[in-house]
Copies of this chain bind each other. A is one copy, B any other.
Amino acid sequence: MWKAVVYVTVKEGVLDPEGQAVERALHSLGYGEASGVRVGKYIELTLDTADRDEAESRLKQMCEKLLTNPVVEDYRYELEVASS
C-alpha cells in the first residue's frame, strides 16, 4: 500500500484565471502585498499495489490521463509506504 500526493500547477506562461480572481479578491480585502497568485490542486490517494515501481508507473498514467491536463498543467508527486 502506497500513499501518493500529487501537486498540480498551471504551467508558467499559461493564464491562471482562478489565481487572478483570488488575487483581486485579496487586494479588495486590503491585502495589497499579495501578487503572483497561482491556484493548483493537491491530490492525496492510496494505491493498493505491492511493488513500488508499478505503483509509480501507474500513478504517472493516472496523472497524464485524468488528474492533470498535460497541455496546460505541470505535476509532481510524492510516493511513500502507507503507514497502515
A contact set with B: CB distance below 8 Å: 7-9, 19, 22-23, 25-26, 29, 31, 33-49, 55, 58, 61-62, 65-67
Chain B residue nearest to A40 in the complex (CB): B42
A43 and B40 contacting across the interface, CB-CB below 8 Å: yes
What's the Cα separation between A61 and B45 when bound, in Å? 29
Docked CA distance A26–B57 (Å): 15
A41 & B41 in contact (Cβ 8 Å cutoff):
yes
B-side contacts of A33, CB under 8 Å: 47-49, 55, 58
Residue of B nearest to A8 (CB): B42
In the complex, residue of chain B having the shortest beta-carbon distance to the beta carbon of A16: B44
**B9 touching A62, Cβ below 8 Å:** no
Chain B residues contacting A42 (CB-CB under 8 Å) are 7-9, 39-42
